Each structure stands twice: as structure tokens, then as C-alpha cells.
Amino acid sequence: MSKAWANVVHPWKQLKLYELFSTGTKRPRPGRRAVPLVGTHGTLDRSAVRCYDRRVRPTPEQLAPLTRFERASFRIADVLAAPKLTPLSANWNSVVMGALIYSCGSQRFNIHGLENLAQYGKKDSILLVANHRSFFDFFTITALLYWRTKLTKRIFFPVRQNFFYDHPLGPAVNFAMSGMRMFPPVMRDKEKRSFNNYSVARCIEELDRPDIGTVLGIHPEGTRNKGSDPYAFLPAQPGVGRIALGSKRAHVIPVFVLGMGQSITGEWRMNWLTPDEHPVDVYFGSPIDFSDLRPKANMITAQKRAADRCLDAIKVLADLQRRDAAVRDGHDPDSVAVLEKSDDGARTVAAAAKVANAANAARAAEALAHESHDANDRG
């Protein structure tokens, strides 16, 4: 067997049929590195260690509430998430989904802010936080990243388990639409939500891998906004804040997308028949700074503030898109109302001032100590 083919086949050896429907986890084998268990708050519990392979594993308690089919769907997606299988999903998405997005939006795209991603390459990890109006939002973003950036093609989008992980056709659709990159699953049922602590920890670990880059896309609103007003946002959920603050390597980039609908045939017709009347606007923002919140990363208040900051950054892009759309339609951009933001901005300024004052005080104390030392030497 050639080395290249062995690299593709090897991850499938992890998938044993009797394990697909098992409620427990595999007995650790010698030689595998230690990976901490997932803690109750979606972080890694450093007090308990088991030996598994490179990926964080859910505990038996987190797997137990899942149905047999959900566990099987998760294990299949977990195997396909192996880095050695990235070319499989990347090629699939480039050819199949790339062709679909091209046929539905290539003549309609108005892309802004890609220069914010120009500095990053294949070894960098990116956390994309975007609004969610259409099922095709992140497929559109993925295609643009493939076509217009130098980022890694190892891309994941966490998705709720409804249909994609609990329906007989779900895994097949997941593979057909994304190469099984709609992963890890997020549980909606209350009795299954302990599994979400694992999903958060898995997202953080994927972003923090030092050997490869990963792109992870998340909607701060937590679900698709089905309201009629595209500039009215749902409240930000703290989960995105947990991931943003938990990852040490990820650069958090806001994205605002508007224009894609839900019908493939409808999007195709608009793309080729009336593209100017139905633009698809995609705005990428500059990286979001969380340095003032990271010391309190385990606090739910800090996680909520981080999530609000992500949504505020998306709203800033929405304001920009709204003004550009007004100019495009021949209207006065100054007549466009600015979206209301959270009060995180004022608190961020205050926190930054506090950090700056503390740093100045430390420098002053250090300078005073040096002066005292010099005076003693002269004496």
C-alpha cells in the first residue's frame, strides 16, 4: 500500500462497528498521549486525565443521553474530522459546493474586507462569527475563503443535532453538503445539553492545535434569524464567548452576510437573470480583541460580554453594509439609522484604562526601585 493511500485509510481503522452504537468510550491504548477530560463548564478538567488519541473525547456521561443513532452519527463525523482526511472534504467542497455557490452567487457577490484575512495563512486558526439569515451563509463564506484567501481548507461549522445527527438522512446530507464538516453537533434537548460542554471543548482544541490551522464558523445568535428585518438581531449566546475566550490561537473575525435565500433554484435564477437587483453582500471585519476579558474567561459574565462583543462587531459591519446599500440604491447614507450596540464598548474602554493604569503604576514602581538601588550604590 502506498504511503499516500495509507494516510487516507488509517483514520478509518479507528471506526469499529461495535463502537458506533456504544455508550462508553474505548479503553486507552499504550502510547497515546494524555488528554484531559471535559469539565462541567466546557473547559478541560486538569484534575483527571485519560489516554486517548489527539482528539478530546466525550465522557460516558456526556454520551449516555444521546440516542444510538446520534452516537453513531457523531462517531462517523469524528472520524472524518481527522486532519489526514481534510483533502477529502476540501476537494469535495471545492468541486460540489463550490460549483453550487458559484452558480447561485458568482454574479451577485459584493465582497468587502478580505484584506483583514490577507495576513493569515494555512497554519493560522480563525474563528468566524457571523449573522445567520440563510442556510447558505456559511457555504458562501467557505467558498470565498477557498477562492480568495490563503487560509487552511480545514473548516468546521458546529450545527444543531436536529436532522443532521438524529435523522436517517442527516449524515448523508451532512456529507453531501459539507463533506461532514457540519461538526461538532450541538444538542438542543435539555437532557442532552451536557454533551455541549464536550462540543465547546472540542472546538477550542481544534482551534488550538499547534501543528495545523483550523477555521471554525459560529453564529453568535445561536440559531437562524427568521425575522423580516435583516438588521434586527437575536441576543448573543454565551457559547461563542466561551470558545473565543478559551482559544489561545484563534483570531476572531466578524462577518456580515446578506442576500442569500433558501431556494437553490431561486438563487440560480437571480444569479444569472437579475444579478444587479439581488446582490449578495459579504463583509469581513478586523480581528476582535478580547485581551481584557481573558483573565476572567471562566466567568459566565465575561463569556456573555465576549459574545456581545462579537455581535457588536457584526452590527458594525451591518451598519457599513446598510450605508453602502443606500448609496447603491440612490439614497442618502446619512439617513440610515445606526444599529444599537451593547454597553460592552464603554466597559471595554474602562477595563482598558484600568489595565493601562496598572501597567503605568508597575513601571513607575520599577523605576523608583531602580533609582533607590542606584542611590544605594552611590552611597
pLDDT in tens, 105-129: 999 999 999 999 999 999 999 999 9
CB contact at 8 A, 171 and 146: no
Q: Are 237 and 220 in contact (CB under 8 A)?
A: yes
User: Do 25 and 59 form a contact (C-beta atoms < 8 A)?
Assistant: yes
In the numeric block, the cell 473525547 is attached to 57
pLDDT at res. 126: 98
* CATH architecture of the domain with range 83-340: 3-Layer(aba) Sandwich (3.40)
Question: Residue 26: pLDDT band by 50, 70, 90 thresholds?
Answer: very low
> Residue 283 has what pLDDT?
98
For residue 284, the cross-strand partners are 255
Q: How many helices and strands, by DSSP H and E, does the chain display?
A: 13, 10
| 235/257 Cα distance (integer angstroms) | 17
% of the chain beyond a pLDDT of 70: 78
pLDDT above 90: percentage of residues in the chain: 70
* Structural contact between residues 252 and 220, judged by C-beta atoms closer than 8 angstroms: no
Q: Which amino acid is it at 36?
A: P
When mean pLDDT is compared across 64-68, 193-197, 234-238, 348-352, the lowest value belongs to: 348-352
What would the mean pLDDT of 206-221 be, rounded to a whole number?
Answer: 95
Rounded to 10 deg, the angle between the 264-273 and 98-105 helix axes is 50
Is 0.85 surpassed by the pTM of this model?
A: no
19: cell is 463502537
Residues 6+ apart with CB under 8 A from 69: 165, 166, 168
> 166 to each of 54, 197, 260, how far by Cα in Å?
26, 19, 27
Cβ pair 46, 117 in contact under 8 A: no
Quote the pLDDT of residue 343: 72
C-alpha 178/C-alpha 197 separation (Å) is: 24
Kindly report the backbone phi and psi dihedral angles of residue 304, in degrees, each rounded to the nearest multiple of 5, phi listed first: -65, -40
**Average per-residue pLDDT in the chain?**
84
Collapsing DSSP to helix, strand or coil, 103 comes out as helix
Whole-angstrom distance, CA of residue 341 vs CA of residue 321: 16
Burial state string for 26-48 with b = 16 or more CB within 10 A and e = fewer than 16 = eeeeeeeeebbbbbeebbbeeee
Contact (Cβ atoms closer than 8 angstroms) between residue 249 and residue 208:
yes
**Whole-number Å distance between alpha carbons of 28 and 56:** 13
